[in-house]
Amino acid sequence: MKRLVIVAFMALIAMIGTAAAYTPDIWDAAGNGPVNGDLTLKPGDSVTLSYRMQSIGSVEQGMVLPYTSQVSVFSGPGSASDITITTPANVTVPNADSYTDISAITISIDAAAPAGTIYRVSIGAGPVTIESEIDSASRYVNSEIPEFPTVALPLAAIIGIAFFMQRRKEE
Q: 16-49 pLDDT, tens per residue?
A: 433 446 888 889 999 998 887 788 888 888 999 9
| pLDDT reported for residue 55 | 87
Query: What whole-number distance in Å separates Cα of residue 10 and Cα of residue 164?
Result: 62
Q: Which long-range contacts (CB under 8 A, 24 or more apart) does 83-88 make?
A: 83/107, 83/108, 83/109, 83/110, 83/113, 83/119, 83/121, 83/141, 84/108, 84/109, 84/110, 85/121, 85/123, 87/51, 87/123
- Arithmetic mean of pLDDT, 108-124: 87
Query: What whole-number distance in Å separates Cα of residue 145 and Cα of residue 125?
Result: 32
Q: Which residue has the higher pLDDT, 153 or 86?
A: 86
Structural domain containing residue 123 = 22-158
* Count of domains observed in the chain: 1
86 in a structural domain: yes
CATH number of domain containing 74: 2.60.40.10
78 in a structural domain: yes
pLDDT > 90: percent of the chain? 20
Contact indicator for 46, 60 with CB cutoff of 8 Å: no
169 in a structural domain: no
| pLDDT reported for residue 147 | 56
35 in a structural domain: yes
Is residue 5's pLDDT more than 60? no
- Arithmetic mean of pLDDT, 55-67: 86
137 in a structural domain: yes
Query: What whole-number distance in Å separates Cα of residue 15 and Cα of residue 37?
Result: 30
Contact indicator for 16, 130 with CB cutoff of 8 Å: no
Is residue 150's pLDDT more than 80? no
Query: What whole-number distance in Å separates Cα of residue 34 and Cα of residue 98?
Result: 14
Closest CA to 126 of 164, 92, 166: 92
DSSP 144: P
| pLDDT reported for residue 158 | 84
- Arithmetic mean of pLDDT, 76-89: 90
